Amino acid sequence: QVQLVESGGGLVQVGGSLRLSCALSGRTLSRYDMGWFRQATGKEREFVAAISWTGGDTSYSDSVNGRFTISRENAENTIHLQMNNLKLEDTAIYFCVLNTFTSTLSYASSRRWNSWGQGIQVTVAY
């Protein structure tokens, strides 16, 4: 059974940094594309970033491009999301995602991903 567990969230000041991690159990991470979505209160879930199973392809939403970096450590069965220069609008619950099947949908489509973590809160404040 696939289990995704996020960590590293919390409260940070505007302009600060956080590093989220997502640990996978039940599967070997190196075989799968993985990513991050987020959902702010009262808003729809949105794509943040994704990384291919090889690590050679990454994708970011326009709102985080240049500030966030997704990476993977296959040996540790973990992916990370380094978030720099955080803004108030980055406040949300962040979800780690994985798809265990081949999909032609874009990384930004929530329907591409069939496994979701429980989410972790990131709060950015002055």
Sequential DSSP letters for 59-81: EE-TTTBTTEEEEEEGGGTEEEE
Residue 49: the pLDDT is: 98
* Nearby residues of 115 by Cβ (< 8 Å), 6 or more positions away: 2, 4, 97, 98, 99, 100
Residue 40: the pLDDT is: 98
Residue 48: the pLDDT is: 98
Residue 54: the pLDDT is: 87
Residue 13: the pLDDT is: 98
Q: What tens digit of pLDDT does each residue of 48-97 get?
A: 999 998 888 999 999 999 999 999 998 888 999 999 999 999 999 999 99
Q: What tens digit of pLDDT does each residue of 3-35 get?
A: 999 999 999 999 999 999 999 988 777 788 999
- What one-character DSSP code corresponds to residue 98? E
Residue 71: the pLDDT is: 97
